[in-house]
A = this chain, B = another copy of it.
Amino acid sequence: MNFPKGFFANGLHCGIKKNGKKDLSIFYSEKPSVAAGVFTKNIFKAAPVIISQKNIKNKIHCIVANSGCANACTGERGIGDVKKICELTADKLNVKPENILVASTGVIGQYLPMEKIENGIRKLCLYIPPTNRPKSAVEGIMTTDTFPKVVSSTFYLLPSTRCTIWACAKGSGMIEPNLATMLSFILTDAQITKEALSRALKIATEKSFNCLTVDGDTSTNDTVFVLANGAAKNKLISDGKNFQLFCDKLTAVCIELTKMLASDGEGATKLIAINVRDAKNICDAKKIAKTVANSPLVKTAIFGNDANWGRIVAAIGRSEVMVDSKKVDVSFSNLCVFKKGCPVSFSEKIARKIILQKVVSININLNSGKEYATVYTCDFSDGYIKVNASYRT
């Protein structure tokens, strides 16, 4: 997997997690990077979100991220701890505290074990660069994820400069798109203006992370960072064809991560894509898709391989979008089960075969316009209950 030039990443176990797994990561750029970010809309923003929202206005040298403790709802002390992390990291890397971004994930309402984290940061900074272990860095931000989520895309900017976008993310509970919806860090060696990078991230997020829901819960810590260090030495991107190309590649990378996050939702056995077509506007399409995606009844039916389309129709009907109930079609993949507001007789055997797949498409056609939206989610299994009834204890 290609990694962009001029970046270094590493992760280790500093002692936050009790199970000995990695829990602290840094992502470092030799050159100061242009940066953009999207953050949770939750009113109880975690301390690292509050500090990073300020620092992202500056050029960025490093992201410090930990798992196992969210440092959320921790008041002034939590804010102070993030400042200490910035100061220590800046000191060790010979940059300024305001060039550091911080992200945390894990249990809400606990203070960071600062001594452990400080020791961890000292170790990581000592060998970075030249150490570069992106895989370890990704493992360091995992919580209930069952696999690390990494995507990379290498392409040529016009006229012919090779450029790489590398991105990682962690899920996998408390996930509902309300801007950013989990932690995701995106690194690229493209040379791009801050304004163009922010615009591209906004477009990509709207079509990817904001179309994801696992359980309807928006976390206090959701964060997406993108750093662009310009090491590819392409002609500066600000608009035009290269912006479009960069934006498309970034969007594709984010959609890949989104699908990985959905398929690894807590307890998930399947990825579900809900496609709403021919809506009056994108907002309506997305609202309906999300209502269906968040219905526990739909999600448990898919887990049970049951083509219970009535639950899908009921969810559409309570989405608060004014749909014409006599125009609505519903299909599993291309098997139509509901046409113009009436049941269609279909083969339960074929329906079951479709739903037994690892990826299930629910297609809803409103026949009322030209807009569409896709939302990604997962099924709802006893595994979700198991993970979440015992997460903290």
Interface residues of A (CB under 8 A from B): 41-45, 70, 72-75, 107-111, 173-174, 176, 178, 215-220, 294-297, 300-301, 303-304, 306, 308-311, 313-318, 322-323, 325, 338, 341-343, 380-382, 384-386, 388-393
- 8 Å CB contact of A385 from B42, B295, B311, B385: B385
Whether the Cβ atoms of A311 and B217 lie closer than 8 Å is: yes
- 8 Å CB contact of A72 from B176, B216, B310, B380: B310
* Cα–Cα distance between A384 and B296 once the two chains are bound (Å): 9
CB-CB nearest in chain B for A70: B310
- 8 Å CB contact of A342 from B70, B73, B174, B342: B73
Whether the Cβ atoms of B73 and A313 lie closer than 8 Å is: yes
Whether the Cβ atoms of A109 and B309 lie closer than 8 Å is: yes
* Cα–Cα distance between A145 and B294 once the two chains are bound (Å): 23
* Selected A-B contacts with CB under 8 Å, 22 pairs: A41-B318, A44-B325, A73-B313, A73-B338, A74-B342, A75-B343, A108-B309, A109-B343, A111-B343, A174-B297, A176-B318, A217-B296, A217-B297, A217-B314, A218-B317, A220-B314, A300-B384, A303-B385, A304-B388, A306-B389, A380-B385, A385-B385
Given contacts A73-B342, A75-B342, A296-B217, contact A44 B313 (CB under 8 A): yes
Measured between beta carbons, the chain B residues less than 8 angstroms from A390 are 304, 306
Whether the Cβ atoms of A216 and B74 lie closer than 8 Å is: no
- 8 Å CB contact of A382 from B43, B218, B382: B382
CB-CB nearest in chain B for A174: B297
Interface centre among A74, A308, A310, A338 (most CB of B within 10 A): A310
Whether the Cβ atoms of A341 and B75 lie closer than 8 Å is: yes
* Cα–Cα distance between A284 and B174 once the two chains are bound (Å): 22
Copies of this chain in its oligomeric complex: 2
* Nearest CB of chain B from residue A183's CB, rounded to whole Å: 15
* Nearest CB of chain B from residue A310's CB, rounded to whole Å: 2
Given contacts A111-B343, A303-B389, 18 further A-B contacts (CB under 8 A): A41-B318, A43-B317, A43-B323, A43-B325, A44-B325, A44-B341, A73-B341, A75-B343, A107-B310, A174-B297, A174-B311, A217-B315, A218-B314, A220-B310, A300-B389, A301-B392, A303-B385, A304-B393
* Cα–Cα distance between A322 and B42 once the two chains are bound (Å): 10
- 8 Å CB contact of A391 from B42, B308, B386: B308
Whether the Cβ atoms of A385 and B392 lie closer than 8 Å is: no
Measured between beta carbons, the chain B residues less than 8 angstroms from A296 are 215-217, 296, 384, 388
- 8 Å CB contact of A301 from B178, B301, B381, B389: B389
